[in-house]
Homo-oligomer: A and B are copies of this chain.
Amino acid sequence: MATIKEIAKKAGVGVGTVSRYLNNHPYVSDDKRIKIKKAIDELNYTPSAIATQLRSNSTKNIGVLVSRFANPFFAELFDAIERKLNQFGYQVLVSQTHDDSAAEQRFLDQLKNKQVDGVILASVENHQLVEKFAKSYPNKIVLLNEENKDNNIPSIVLNHYQATMNGLEYLYQKGHRNFSYITGGDYDNKHHGYSRTKAFQDFLKTHQLSINNKWVFSQQHTALDGQKIAQDLMIDSRKLPDAVFTNSDEVAIGLINELQKNGIHVPKDIAIVGYDDQPFARFAEVPLTTIRQPINAMANKAVDILLKNLTDSNIDENITEQDLKLKLIIRKSA
Contacts and interface: CB of A to CB of B under 8 A. Distances in A.
Interface in A255-294: 256-257, 279-280, 282-285, 287
Contact of A284 (B70, B79, B280): B280
A49 B96 contact: no
Given A68-B79, A75-B75, A95 B86 contact: yes
Interface stretch (A106-114, A120-128, A167-175): A106-114
Contacts of A82: 69, 94-96
A54 interface: yes
Q: Main SS of the interface on chain A?
A: helix
A94 B95 contact: no
Interface string A43-56: 00011111101100
Given A96-B83, A283-B284, A285-B283, A59 B50 contact: yes
Interface residues of A, number: 48
Interface string A225-267: 0000000000000000000000000000110110000000000
A91 interface: yes
Contacts of A115: 49-50, 91
Nearest to A257: B283
Nearest to A98: B83
Contact of A69 (B76, B113, B253, B284): B76
B283 A109 contact: no
Contacts of A93: 61, 91-94
Contact of A280 (B69, B86, B112, B280): B280
A184 interface: no
A237 B111 CA distance: 59
A72 interface: yes
A54, A223, A256 interface centre (most CB from chain B within 10 Å): A54
Contacts of A179: none
A83 to B, nearest CB: 7
Contact of A91 (B1, B54, B110, B285): B110
B69 A75 contact: yes
A200 interface: no
Nearest to A59: B50
A103 interface: yes
A279 B72 CA distance: 10
A76 B86 contact: no
A181 interface: no
A78 interface: yes
Given A50-B114, A86-B103, A283 B94 contact: no
A68 B284 CA distance: 22
Contacts of A282: 257
Contacts of A110: 49, 91
A75 B79 CA distance: 10
Given A83-B98, A257-B282, 10 more contacts: A48-B113, A49-B115, A50-B53, A50-B115, A54-B54, A68-B79, A69-B76, A86-B95, A280-B283, A284-B285
